């Protein structure tokens, strides 16, 4: 794998250099300067929050643990890495630069964060400096020019071959751990112990994961971002929603599966229907599909399932038009993914910025762009039995067309979400998640 990534990296770097040139031209600067960032301290404490590197930094290098370091891109020149290896006996000092990317950079090692100044372009006013405020060194405060960021964020949606390789590995790592978690569920483990099984298999610390694991048994599956991890197993674990990913050199996977215990055949039937629908949505991750349209299409299909399985008596069309489908599917179909689990640029109109609005009545959708080859998105439909939303529905006229006995009976299972990471191709989608599950089986 490393050999393949090494082969693909020069082209990736050349792509970022071209994008950097365009962003600088648009914003009117001469140098693109990217700060890795600095850890932030907890209030009144000498304890830092976990360090999260500037995603722009890890776009250029497979390096996520280099606080105080900088990248400088100047059109026509070799990229420069200013790399902080402090004199420090309290903490682990970042390793000396090593690997396939090193030969492509001019590297300056510094021992103190303030020394970066001597290696940054002389005229700070000509620098587009991308980073958080606390990364500043004397005279070089991040200015994050909007025109530069819009341009970079727009293009970030199009993954290079190198990035697709990174994302495939992130999916493989996540799937390996999902299989361990499913086994723990089948063995009757608690949420806490399922999470431990996941962490052991993914071999990443919780801080390294792209987001906090969602490990939800029974009705906890109705909490979209449930993160409590009960220590004790329930008397009967009938259903299990797991939404958990993995990181590979800063690239994320985001995977959700829902399982039913053997005795919960009625819930398995609903999972199977959502699973079939999800595969249909994945098939539409094709050049020219508008993601917002796909989200609305998903509402119609899911409402059809609710009707077929006897949860609602109205037509699917009426369920979507009245907002009933949104009671059972109250989040977006998915989002761009890459260097961040919810990657940037999902609403952008074009390279210069702008916003493509969400369809009315769909406030949580995170992507409205039209799909093109090299974009990677999640497809994560769900159906849930959420007490709060069902109580609101009960007070509406549509309540008369809800089969409440059936709905109430299903509250014990919480909900269903099935989430894959999918790369848009020229003619067929590449399902990174299902390919990884197939390879692992």
C-alpha distances in angstroms, 117 versus 65, 93, 172, 297, 308?
20, 20, 40, 53, 65
- Residue closer to Mn ion (CB basis): 402 or 436: 436
- Residue closer to Mn ion (CB basis): 101 or 226: 226
Decide: is 378 part of the binding site for Mn ion (CB under 5 A). Answer: yes
Instruction: List 256's β-bridge partners, or say none.
Output: 243, 419
Task: For the CB of residue 162, give the shortest distance to ligand GLY in the complex, in Å.
Answer: 24
Cβ–Cβ under 8 Å, residues 290 and 209: no
* Residue 269: Cβ within 10 Å count: 11
Task: For the CB of residue 362, give the shortest distance to ligand GLY in the complex, in Å.
Answer: 15
> Which of the choices ligand GLY, Mn ion, none does residue 191 contact, using the CB cut-off of 5 to 8 A by kind?
none
> Which of the choices ligand GLY, Mn ion, none does residue 211 contact, using the CB cut-off of 5 to 8 A by kind?
ligand GLY
The single residue listed with the structure tokens 């052991």 is 200
Among 163, 191, 204, 419, interactor with ligand GLY by CB under 6 A? 419
- Mapped onto helix, strand or coil, the DSSP state of residue 415 is strand
- Residue closer to ligand GLY (CB basis): 191 or 380: 380
Among 39, 211, 290, 389, interactor with ligand GLY by CB under 6 A? 211
> Which of the choices Mn ion, ligand GLY, none does residue 163 contact, using the CB cut-off of 5 to 8 A by kind?
none
- Contact residues for 17 (Cβ-Cβ < 8 A; gap 6+): 73, 75, 79
Decide: is 254 part of the binding site for Mn ion (CB under 5 A). Answer: yes
Task: For the CB of residue 105, give the shortest distance to Mn ion in the complex, in Å.
Answer: 33
C-alpha span between 49 and 39 (Å, rounded): 6
Task: For the CB of residue 418, give the shortest distance to ligand GLY in the complex, in Å.
Answer: 11
Among 191, 193, 204, 243, interactor with Mn ion by CB under 5 A? 243
> Which of the choices Mn ion, ligand GLY, none does residue 193 contact, using the CB cut-off of 5 to 8 A by kind?
none
- Contact residues for 6 (Cβ-Cβ < 8 A; gap 6+): 99, 100
Decide: is 420 part of the binding site for ligand GLY (CB under 6 A). Answer: no
Task: For the CB of residue 417, give the shortest distance to ligand GLY in the complex, in Å.
Answer: 8
- Residue closer to ligand GLY (CB basis): 226 or 410: 226
- Residue closer to ligand GLY (CB basis): 204 or 254: 254
What would the two tokens of residue 156 be? 């970030």
How many residues touch Mn ion under the rule CB under 5 A: the total is 5
C-alpha span between 190 and 88 (Å, rounded): 41
Task: For the CB of residue 240, give the shortest distance to ligand GLY in the complex, in Å.
Answer: 16
Pick left, alpha or beta for residue 192 (phi over 0 → left; psi -120 to 50 → alpha; otherwise beta): alpha
Task: For the CB of residue 207, give the shortest distance to ligand GLY in the complex, in Å.
Answer: 16
Task: For the CB of residue 268, give the shortest distance to ligand GLY in the complex, in Å.
Answer: 22
Pairing state between β 80-84 and 106-110? parallel
C-alpha span between 101 and 112 (Å, rounded): 23
- Residue closer to Mn ion (CB basis): 52 or 141: 52
> How many helices (H) and strands (E) would you count in the chain?
12, 17
> Which of the choices ligand GLY, Mn ion, none does residue 420 contact, using the CB cut-off of 5 to 8 A by kind?
none
Count how many residues are written for the chain. Answer: 441
What would the two tokens of residue 7 be? 């082969």
C-alpha span between 124 and 126 (Å, rounded): 5
Per-residue x/- track, 358-387, ligand GLY (CB under 6 A): ----------------------x-------
CA–centroid distance for 171 within its chain = 11
- Residue closer to ligand GLY (CB basis): 150 or 368: 368
Rg of the chain, C-alpha, whole Å: 24
> Which of the choices ligand GLY, Mn ion, none does residue 51 contact, using the CB cut-off of 5 to 8 A by kind?
none
Cβ–Cβ under 8 Å, residues 209 and 246: yes
- DSSP state letter for 50: P
Subset of residues 238 to 257 that bind ligand GLY, contact rule: CB under 6 A = 243, 254
Residues that bind ligand GLY (CB under 6 A): 211, 243, 254, 380, 419
Residues that bind Mn ion (CB under 5 A): 243, 254, 256, 378, 419
């Amino acid at each position: 794998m490393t050999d393949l990534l090494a082969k693909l990296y020069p082209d990736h770097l050349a792509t970022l250099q071209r994008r950097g040139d365009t962003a600088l031209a648009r914003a009117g600067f001469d140098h693109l300067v990217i700060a890795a960032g600095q850890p932030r301290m907890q209030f009144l404490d000498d304890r830092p929050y976990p360090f999260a590197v500037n995603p722009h930094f890890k776009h250029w290098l497979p390096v996520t643990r280099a606080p105080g370091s900088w990248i400088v891109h100047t059109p026509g020149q070799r990229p420069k890495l200013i790399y902080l290896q402090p004199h420090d006996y309290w903490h682990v000092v970042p390793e000396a630069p090593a690997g396939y990317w090193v030969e492509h950079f001019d590297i300056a090692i510094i021992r103190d964060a303030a020394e970066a100044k001597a290696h940054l372009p002389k005229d700070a006013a000509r620098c587009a400096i991308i980073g958080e405020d606390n990364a500043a060194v004397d005279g070089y405060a991040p200015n994050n020019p909007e025109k530069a960021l819009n341009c970079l964020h727009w293009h970030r949606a199009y993954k290079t071959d190198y990035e697709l390789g990174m994302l495939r590995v992130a999916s493989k790592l996540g799937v390996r751990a999902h299989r361990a978690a499913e086994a723990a569920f089948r063995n009757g483990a608690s949420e806490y112990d399922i999470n431990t099984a996941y962490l052991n298999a993914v071999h990443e610390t919780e801080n390294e994961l792209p987001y906090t694991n969602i490990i939800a048994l029974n009705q906890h599956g109705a909490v979209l971002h449930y993160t409590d991890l009960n220590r004790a197993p329930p008397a009967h674990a009938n259903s299990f929603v797991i939404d958990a990913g993995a990181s590979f050199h800063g690239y994320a996977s985001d995977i959700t599966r829902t399982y039913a215990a053997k005795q919960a055949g009625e819930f398995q039937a609903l999972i199977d229907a959502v699973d079939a629908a999800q595969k249909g949505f994945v098939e539409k991750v094709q050049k020219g599909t508008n993601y917002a349209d796909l989200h609305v299409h998903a509402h119609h299909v899911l409402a059809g399932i609710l009707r077929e399985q006897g949860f609602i008596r109205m037509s699917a069309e009426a369920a979507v038009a009245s907002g009933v489908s949104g009671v059972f599917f109250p989040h977006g179909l998915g989002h761009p993914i890459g260097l961040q689990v919810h990657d940037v640029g999902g609403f952008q109109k074009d390279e210069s910025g702008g916003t493509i609005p969400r369809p009315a009545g769909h406030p949580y959708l995170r992507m409205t762009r039209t799909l093109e080859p090299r974009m990677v998105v999640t497809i994560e439909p769900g159906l849930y039995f959420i007490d709060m939303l069902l109580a609101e529905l009960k007070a509406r006229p549509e309540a008369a067309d809800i089969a409440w006995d059936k709905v109430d009976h299903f509250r014990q299972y919480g909900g269903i979400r099935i989430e894959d990471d999918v790369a848009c191709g020229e003619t067929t989608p590449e399902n990174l998640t299902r390919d990884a599950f197939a390879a692992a089986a």
